[in-house]
Amino acid sequence: DADVTQTPRNRITKTGKRIMLECSQTKGHDRMYWYRQDPGLGLRLIYYSFDVKDINKGEISDGYSVSRQAQAKFSLSLESAIPNQTALYFCATMAGGKPDTQYFGPGTRLTVL
């Protein structure tokens, strides 16, 4: 089984709808991240969490919210989706406290019509 999983893998929704993307990990890492990827723009950080009680905004947090329900679960919500939030969304994890690599989920392709 994959260490970092994301659900759903694909989602098409309409403008104004509330959407939740979920991420689960079995790596036992404290740190979790949400990124979005747009063509030609690389990955941009939305939110990150160092533990259940520590949530931090990233570069592009406007229009998004997150919830760290447990060490293993980190959800990203779009309260009222808009078309320019159409993108590929990635969750990632990292062990805390030292320079380390990030482990990415397979991504969720979100289309907002």
Q: Judged by CB, which is closer to another protein: 17, or 103?
A: 103
Residues 64-103 that bind another protein (CB under 8 A): 88, 90, 92, 94, 96-103
- Cβ within 8 Å of residue 62, ≥6 positions away: none
Residue with smaller CB distance to another protein, 17 or 23: 23
Candidates 15-23, 51-59, 68-76, 78-86: pick the segment binding another protein (CB under 8 A): 51-59
Binding of another protein by 52 (CB under 8 A) = no
Pair of tokens at residue 7: 């659900």
Q: Is residue 81 helix, strand or coil?
A: coil
| Pairing between β-strand 87-94 and β-strand 73-78 as defined by DSSP bridges | unpaired
- C-alpha atoms less than 13 angstroms from C-alpha of 88 in its C-beta half-sphere: 11
Write out the residues near another protein by the rule CB under 8 A.
4, 31, 33, 35, 40-45, 48, 56, 58-59, 88, 90, 92, 94, 96-107, 109
